[in-house]
Amino acid sequence: MGDVVNLRQFKKTKARSEKEKHAEQSRISHGRTKAEKSLTTALNDKAEKSLNQGKLEKSQKNPE
């Protein structure tokens, strides 16, 4: 037979682990320094500029 489990304790343990997962995600997204944030924005801007450099513009044709 299986072990007897106290459901109240099981629910509390599960809630704690879920809360810890959420806290870890928050630490990752909000716990960055100003230098890290500015570096990320600079890299994103650079990538966007290089992407836009390869775009071809459509020419305006006269529909006559």
- Assess if residue 14 is contained within a domain: yes
Q: Please give the tally of structural domains in the chain.
A: 1
pLDDT for the residue numbered 63: 60
- Assess if residue 49 is contained within a domain: no
* HSE-CB of 19 using CA atoms within 13 angstroms: 6
pLDDT top residue among 63 and 32: 32
- The tens digit of pLDDT for each residue in 20-56 reads 999 999 988 888 889 998 999 999 999 999 988 887 7
- Assess if residue 32 is contained within a domain: yes
- Assess if residue 38 is contained within a domain: yes
Give the range of the structural domain holding residue 22, as residue numbers without chain letter.
7-44
- Assess if residue 50 is contained within a domain: no
Backbone conformation region of residue 24, classed left if phi is above 0, alpha if psi is from -120 to 50, else beta: alpha
